[in-house]
Amino acid sequence: MTTTGEGTDQRAAPPATAADLPAATVRRLPEYLRALGALSESGVDTVSSEILAGATGVNSAMLRKDLSQLGASGMRGVGYSVAALATHIAGVLGLTKDSRVAIIGLGHLGQALARYPGFSERGFDIVGLFDADPGIIGRDLDGLPVRDVALLGRAVRDEGINIGVIATPGAAAQHVADLLVDAGVTSILNFAPCVLAVPQGVAVRKVDLAVELQILSFHEHHKTLGRSEAQINKRRER
Amino acid sequence: MTTTGEGTDQRAAPPATAADLPAATVRRLPEYLRALGALSESGVDTVSSEILAGATGVNSAMLRKDLSQLGASGMRGVGYSVAALATHIAGVLGLTKDSRVAIIGLGHLGQALARYPGFSERGFDIVGLFDADPGIIGRDLDGLPVRDVALLGRAVRDEGINIGVIATPGAAAQHVADLLVDAGVTSILNFAPCVLAVPQGVAVRKVDLAVELQILSFHEHHKTLGRSEAQINKRRER
DNA sequence: TCCTGTGAATTTCTTCACAGCC
DNA sequence: GGCTGTGAAGAAATTCACAGGA
C-alpha cells in the first residue's frame, strides 16, 4: 500500500464501532461500492458474495467477512440487496455528505486532478486550487481560480475544506502539509514523492506514481525466472 | 492501498532468489531508494537503519529485515553504504536498464502522466501514446505524437514496449488490456476504475484516485466518533 | 559503544470448511 | 439446492529483543 499516517489504538477495548474496522477491510470498501454501482446500472438488484467477489478480485469468504463486520447483512440462500448494500457502505465511508477538497500545486498532475471527473462523481467537491507560482496563480481551471497558497489557511477555515490534496514538488510538500494541519485539516492525500510528518490524528495517504512503475519493473525483471502468480486473474472469457 | 496484482506463493520451495521477496518488501524498496537518493544528494555516504527507517516511515527492524533479504549487507557498528545500497536495490528492482512505457488514453490524466517528469527521472521512457478518439489522435505532446490505438499491438512489438499504462475510461480498459497482453506486455499499470482480467503471469497494479479519497473520507467520518483521543495533539518531530 | 542480522513472539490478514437459514 | 455468517486454521507481515561483529 504506499500509505502512512495510520493511528495505532492501544486503548482498553471500547464498544466496537465501525471505526474499528481493520485497515485491510476499509481499503476494499470503495472497490465493493464501485462494483455495486456497476451492477445497479445493469439492473441487477441482488448479488451473491461469489459474484461480487469476482467483480472486485477478492475471495468470497473475505467479502462476506468484510460485510459482516460492517453490520451489513445478506439473506441466506439469496444474497445481498445491491441497493441496500451500496447505501450501507456509503454510510460507513462517510460519503453521505460531500467532502470539500483543496488541491495544492497545479502543475500538470494537479491540473489533471482538478479536472478528474471521478472526484465529483463520487461526492468530492473540489472547492479550492492553490499554488505558489505567480505564473500559475490567477489562472482559471474550469471556472475555479488558482489562488496564492498564502491564502490557504484562511480558505480552509472559511470554506470548510476538510481534505487536502498535495500535488506540489517534493520540496514544498512538507510546508504545505504544515499549513493544512495548522488550519485544521486532518486528511491529506499526498502525491509528492516524500514522507510527510504530521501530528497524530491526521490521516495521510500517499500515492507515488513512479513507485508503482518500479514495482512493475521488479516483476518484469524477475519474470524470466519462471514465476507467475497473478491469481486474482482467474482468466476470463472475453 | 489500493493495489492489486500481488501474488501469493504456494509453490514448494524453489531455490531462493530475489524473485521470492515478500510482496510487502517489494513495495517498500522504491521508497528506500528514494530516501537513499535524497541522502546521497545531501552528501551523506553512510546511514544507519534507524535513520533510513525514519526517512521512509517504517520500523528499523523491518528495514533491516527487508535489506537482509535482498542480500544487501551493512557494516555492524557503522551502518549501510548509501551508494552501495542504492545500487543494490536498483539492481533488484531491475532499474539498471530503462523500461519502455506506452500510455493509452490521453485525457487529462493521461496527458499529465505523459508529462510527469518523475517517470523519465527514474528510468522509465515513455515511448508511445495512444488513444481511440480521432480528436486526440495526431496531437503532439512534448514531441511525441498520439497514435491510433489500433496501432498499439504493432508498436509494442516493434518498439520494445514492456509496460502499459492504461488511463482510459473504465469501459475501454479491458479492451486495451487485451491488446497489450496479446502483444506480449506482461506489466500493466491501470488507472481506470475497474478490475482487469488478465492471464496468469501478467502483473497488474491498480491506482484509483477516487478510492484514496474515499478511504480518507472514512477516517474523516469516524474521527469525530472515535474515543476522546484526548491527546490528538501529540505533535512532534519534523 | 554502536549497529546489524535474525530467531521468536505477536499481530494482522486470508482462506477453509461447515453449521444454519431460506 | 443455494448462500450467508463465522469459528478455526493457516499464512503473512510486523515487532521485539538480543546475540554478536566492528
Higher-pLDDT residue of A152 and A7 is A152
- pLDDT of A34 reads 97
Mean pLDDT, residues B111-118 taken together: 94
Residue nearest to nucleotide C13 (CA to C1'): A24
Residue A39: half-sphere exposure toward Cβ, Cα within 13 Å? 25
Contact call for residues B163 and B180 (beta carbons, < 8 A): no
- pLDDT of A18 reads 67
Asked if residue A40 has pLDDT above 70, the reply is yes
Asked if residue B74 has pLDDT above 50, the reply is yes
CA B13 to chain A, closest CA, distance in angstroms equals 12
Residue of chain B whose alpha carbon sits nearest to that of A121? B210
Contact call for residues B131 and B105 (beta carbons, < 8 A): yes
Nucleotides of strand D under 7 angstroms from a protein beta carbon:
1-7, 11-17, 20-22
Asked if residue B223 has pLDDT above 60, the reply is yes
- Listed by range, residues with Cβ under 7 angstroms from strand D are A 47-50, 60-61, 64-65, 67-68, 72-80; B 8-10, 22-25, 58-59, 61-62, 64-65, 75-78
Asked if residue A129 has pLDDT above 70, the reply is yes
- pLDDT of A20 reads 86
From A30, A57, A197, residue closest to B238, measured CB to CB: A197
- pLDDT of A185 reads 98
From B93, B217, B235, residue closest to A221, measured CB to CB: B93
Neighbours of A172 (CB within 10 A): 17
What are the angstrom distances between the C-alpha of B85 and each of A71, A213, B3, B32, B71? Answer: 48, 20, 27, 9, 10
Q: Is the CB of A22 under 7 A from strand C?
A: yes
Q: Give the β-pairing of A187-190 and A203-206.
A: parallel
Does the structural domain A99-212 have CATH classification 1.50.10.20?
Answer: no
Contact call for residues B26 and A218 (beta carbons, < 8 A): yes
- pLDDT of B72 reads 85
Q: Which residues lie below 8 Å from residue B184, measured CB to CB, with a gap of 6+?
A: B156, B157
Confidence of residue A218 (pLDDT cuts 50, 70, 90): very high
Mean pLDDT taken over chain B = 88
Of the candidates B7, B5, B216, the residue with the CA atom closest to the CA atom of residue A227:
B7
Higher-pLDDT residue of A238 and B95 is B95
3-state secondary structure of B150: helix
What CATH number does the domain located at B18-93 have? Answer: 1.10.10.10
Neighbours of A91 (CB within 10 A): 14
The answer to whether the CB atoms of A122 and B94 lie below 8 A apart is: no
The answer to whether the CB atoms of A223 and B118 lie below 8 A apart is: no
Asked if residue A9 has pLDDT above 80, the reply is no
Asked if residue A8 has pLDDT above 50, the reply is no
Could you check whether B18-93 and B99-212 share the same CATH topology?
no
Q: Is the CB of B79 under 7 A from strand C?
A: yes
- pLDDT of A73 reads 87
- pLDDT of A28 reads 98
Mean pLDDT, residues A31-43 taken together: 97
Residue B134: half-sphere exposure toward Cβ, Cα within 13 Å? 0
Over residues A55-104, the pLDDT tens digits come to: 999 999 999 999 999 998 899 999 999 999 999 999 999 999 989 999 99
Mean pLDDT, residues A125-151 taken together: 97
- Distance of C1' in D20 from CA in B76, Å: 9
Asked if residue A5 has pLDDT above 80, the reply is no
Over residues B190-203, the pLDDT tens digits come to: 999 999 999 999 99
Asked if residue A220 has pLDDT above 70, the reply is yes
Asked if residue B235 has pLDDT above 70, the reply is no
Over residues A159-191, the pLDDT tens digits come to: 999 999 999 999 999 999 999 999 999 999 999
Asked if residue B22 has pLDDT above 60, the reply is yes
Mean pLDDT, residues B10-22 taken together: 55
Indicate the range of A116-120, A203-207, B54-58, B229-233 predicted with least confidence.
B229-233
The answer to whether the CB atoms of B220 and A186 lie below 8 A apart is: yes
- pLDDT of B17 reads 60
**H-only helix segments in chain A:** 23-41, 49-56, 60-70, 82-93, 108-115, 117-121, 152-159, 170-182, 209-223
Q: What DSSP state is assigned to residue B193?
A: S
Query: Which three cell numbers, joined as nine digits, stand for B2?
Result: 489500493
Provide the percentage of residues in chain A whose pLDDT is more than 70. Answer: 86
- pLDDT of B224 reads 61
Dihedral of CA B49/B51/B52/B53: which sign? positive
Mean pLDDT, residues B7-16 taken together: 34
Query: Which three cell numbers, joined as nine digits, stand for A208?
Result: 507515488
Over residues A49-65, the pLDDT tens digits come to: 999 999 999 999 999 99
What are the angstrom distances between the C-alpha of A80 and each of A39, A52, A55, A83, A225? Answer: 12, 9, 14, 9, 43
Indicate the range of A50-54, A202-206, B220-224 predicted with least confidence.
B220-224
- pLDDT of B238 reads 26
Q: Distance (Å, rounded) from C-alpha A53 to C-alpha A10?
A: 32
Asked if residue A205 has pLDDT above 70, the reply is yes
B115-118 contacts at long range (C-beta below 8 A, 24 or more positions apart): B115/A108, B115/B141, B115/B142, B116/A108, B116/A109, B116/A209, B118/A193, B118/A208, B118/A209, B118/A210
Domain ranges for chain B: 18-93, 99-212
Q: Distance (Å, rounded) from C-alpha A68 to C-alpha A66?
A: 6
Asked if residue B99 has pLDDT above 60, the reply is yes
